[in-house]
Amino acid sequence: MEILIVFLAIGICWGIIDHIFFMPKRKKAAEEGNAQAQYELGRHHELSANYVSSEAIKWYSKAAQQGHERAILRLAEIKREEEQSCFFRELQERYRRGMEAVKNGDAEEQYRLGMDYYGAYENEKLSSFYDQAIEWFLRAANLGHEEALARLKEIYRTPMGAKIIRRSNFPDITSLLGDYPSEYTLDWDSISKQYRKKQHYICQDCGVDLNSEKYLLHTHHLNRDKYDNREENLIALCANCHKKQPFHERRVSVSDSDLKKINLLRKQQGLRPQ
């Protein structure tokens, strides 16, 4: 405890000495355009105020304009911290709105909340936002909101959306959405064949050439949405590389004989066996 008090006293004394003897020189150098002094002055304002003050931003910006790396990095950190703070404030506000909407039985507000989460999902690509959007659409539809029901019908046509809806606690709404969708689009076989042909039947991960065993090359959806057949969402993978994709260990079966064929081709082509 005594050691802590001593260190605290030293820190206070050093702060006073720095403020009296060094700060005037540092401020003068900063005003004359010294980038290091500008950065240090910005740091001083931030630490003394215990938050990022406008003065701190001003001096960091001046230093950054001259290419001072630490000032540039600190400004980037500040921007990232502000974005995260805004992000969490928005989450808190959505939660508050949701509780009010449930309490008041407000279907329109619940639908709007679903749209907010859906928009956030499209921007951030966080699956939890997608789940929340569907949850609020279900709640609104359960109260008779027609637009929410229409939105759910659209979502239900995708395998991922259908799975989330079917495991929800709104069986009456699920029964209004129609048949459970096929896992792939009707033209998937043709799309897959054309894509693999375009890749010359070569695995885009390990590089094995499967022209002699075309059936061992698969087409994988990168974002796991099997209705998203945009070329940038597709990748050609040998059966073994496909099996190694997240959540595919049990979904993709590769027999011992097929694995031997892939490894034999890899060996013949000068590639390391897997």
**What is residue 21's predicted lDDT score, i.e. its pLDDT?**
45
Residues shown for the chain: 274
Q: Mean of the pLDDT values across residues 140-154?
A: 89
Q: Decide which of 173 and 4 is more confident.
A: 173
User: CB within 8 A of 30, min separation 6: which ones?
Assistant: 37, 38, 40, 41, 59, 62
Q: Which 3 state secondary structure label does DSSP give 231?
A: helix
- 236 vs 165, 214, 230, 247, CA distance in Å? 30, 11, 13, 17
Q: What is the pLDDT of residues 63-77, one digit of tens each?
A: 888 888 888 888 888
pLDDT, tens digit (0-9, with 9 covering 90-100), for 214-270: 999 999 998 877 778 899 999 999 999 998 988 777 778 888 888 999 999 999 999
Average pLDDT for 99-124 = 86
Give mean pLDDT, residues 125-153.
87
209 CB-near residues (< 8 Å, 6+ apart): 200, 201, 202, 265, 269
Q: Fill in the DSSP letter of residue 126.
A: -
pLDDT above 90: residue 194: yes
Average pLDDT over the chain, rounded to whole? 81
- Top pLDDT among 226 and 274 is at 226
Whether the predicted model's global pTM rises above the 0.85 cut: no
Question: Cα(218)–Cα(238) distance, rounded to whole angstroms?
Answer: 6
Using a pLDDT cut of 90, give the percent of the chain over it. 27
Q: Which residue has the higher pLDDT, 227 or 10?
A: 227
Q: What is the pLDDT of residue 52?
A: 74
Beta-carbon neighbour count of residue 182 at 10 Å? 13
Which residue from 137, 234, 241 is spatially nearest to 193, judged by alpha carbons?
234
Q: Are residues 156 and 162 in contact, defined by beta-carbon separation less than 8 angstroms?
A: yes
The arithmetic mean of pLDDT across residues 11-34, rounded, is 62
Tokens for 264, please give them: 């034999």
